[in-house]
Amino acid sequence: MQQRQSGQPDEKITRMGTGSIPKLILEFAIPSVCGMMVNGAYNLISAVFLGQALGELGLAVATAANPTMVIFMGLSMLVGMGGNALCALRLGEGRKDLAERVLGNTVTLSFILWAVILFLAYCPWTIEFLLTLSSATPEIRPYAKDFVQILSWGFVFQCIGAGVNNFIRTAGAPNRALLTMVIGAVSCTAFGFLFVMVFNWGVPGSALSTICGQLVSAITVVWYFTRTKNVPLRLTAPNMRFDARTCGKIIVMGLASFAVQLGAFVVGLVSNYVLVKYGALSPIGSDDALASIGVVQRIAMFSVLPIIGVSGAIQPLLGFNYGARNIARVRTTLAWGVGVATGISVLFWLLVHLFATQLVMLFGITKPALAEFTVFALAVQLLMLPIVGFQIVGSNYFQATGQPIKSTVLTLTRQVIFLVPMYMVLPELMPVLLPQYTGLDAVYFACPVADFLAIFTTAVFMALELRRLKRIERGELEVKI
C-alpha cells in the first residue's frame, strides 16, 4: 500500500501488519486485560467500602446511581473507542496526519460533552427525572442525587483517562496504557479508603474519590501525548481545533461502544424497576433487592471486563490490517481473539461459582436470607458466561473494521433487544409455569436467556462476514472506509 504522507512509518505501528499475531495479541491483551481488571477491582472495592460503611443502604444507593454512571462511561467510550478505531484505520492507510487530528478532536469532544453533562446534572428537572427513572426510593434518593452531581464534575477526566487512554495502545505502547489505568485505579482506591473508611464521608466521599483517581489518570494520559519523547502520535493545539467532519466520524465509529453502555443504561432502569416492583412482593423488600442486584452486577461486570479487555486489545490489530486490506491477518486475529476471550470467560465462570458465598459476604450483606438469594442470583446471571466472549469479540470486530451499524445492532441484541423484553415477560410467565420460582427469582433468569439469543445472532452475522472477507481477498469486492 502506498504511503500518503512523507517520512518513514513508525515501526511500533507497522509491526501490527507484519509481526506474529499471537505474540502481538499477547503483548496488547495482557496490559489491556490487567487494566480493565484493575479498574473493575476499584469498582468492586468502592462498593465494598460503601457496603462496609453503610450496609445495604450504601449498596442500594450505588445501584440507584448506576444507570447514570453507565451513561457517563458510555459517553467516554463514544469518543474514546470511536476515536481510537478511526485512528487505527487512518494509521493503516498511512495517514498519520489525519490520525493526529482524530486524537486532538477526541479531546475536544470530551470537553464539549463535559459542559453538557454539568448542565444536565444540575438542572433540577433533569436530575429528578433521572432519579425517578432509576427507581430511587425516598430513603436513598438524596444520597443518589449527591453521588451523581459530584461525579459529573469529573466526567472530562473520565473521558481522557479511560477513553483517550486507548490511543496509547494504538500508538504501540500497551504497557504504558496499562500504567495510566493502574495509576488511576490505585489512586481511586486509596482516596476511597481515606474518604469513606477513615473520614466517614459516606456516599459523597465515594464520589469524590472517584473524581480524584480519574484526574490522576487523565494527567498521565495527556503527559504521554505531549511530553513523552519519540511517541508516534502527538496531541497538539492545532489538531484540537474542532473539525465537524472528523468529530462526526468519531461519533459514528463510537456508536457501537456507546450502544453497549446505552443498552446497559436502559437495562439498569428496567432492572431497577422490576426489582422494586417484585422485591416489594417478596420477603426481601425493594431496597434489599436493589442491594442484591448491585452486588451481582458488579461481580458479573468484573467477570466480563477481561473479555472486553481482549476485545479492545485486538481492535487496533483488526483496524490496521483491515485498513491495509490484509484480510488473512484480519481472520487470524479474529480467531485468536475469540479463543483467548473464551478461555478467560471459562476461567472466571469457574472462580465465581467456587467462591460465590465468600464474594457476596465481602460486600457487607449480613442478612442470611438476602445473602442466600444473592448467591443464587449470581449463579443464574452468569450461566452463559463461558461463551459470552464470542459475542463480545464478534460485536467489536465490526466496530474495528468500520462497520458501526452492524456492531451496534449486535451490541443491542444482548443489552436491549432481547434482555429488556425478558425482564418484562419472565417475572410474569415463569411463576405460572414453574411455581417454585417467584417473580423476583425470574428477573435473574432474563440475562442467560438474552445472552443465548445474542450469541446465536452474532454467529449468523459472523458467518456472513467471513464470506464477505473471502470476496474482498479475491478482489471481487472493493471496500471504502
pLDDT in single tens digits along all 481 residues of the chain: 334 443 445 666 777 777 788 888 888 888 777 767 776 666 667 777 777 777 677 777 777 887 888 888 888 888 988 898 888 888 877 888 899 999 999 999 999 999 999 999 999 999 999 888 887 878 888 888 998 999 999 999 999 988 898 898 788 787 888 788 888 888 888 898 899 888 888 888 888 988 998 899 999 999 999 988 888 889 999 999 999 999 999 998 888 778 767 777 877 788 888 888 888 777 777 777 777 777 887 888 788 888 888 888 888 888 888 877 888 888 999 999 999 999 999 998 998 888 888 888 777 777 788 888 888 888 888 999 999 999 999 988 988 888 878 888 888 887 788 988 999 899 889 888 888 888 888 888 888 999 999 999 999 999 999 998 888 887 777 766 5
Q: Are 402 and 89 in contact (CB under 8 A)?
A: yes
Could you report the per-residue pLDDT of 398-427, keeping only the tens digit for each? 888 888 788 888 888 877 889 889 998 998
- Fill in the amino acid letter for 195: F
Number of Cβ within 10 Å of residue 369's Cβ equals: 11
- Assigned C-alpha cell, 145: 442525587
Burial 4-41 (b: 16+ CB within 10 A, else e): eeeeeebeebbbbbeeebeebbebbbbbbbbbbbbbbb
All structural domains of the chain with their residue ranges: 16-473
Mean pLDDT of the chain: 84
Q: Are 352 and 299 in contact (CB under 8 A)?
A: yes
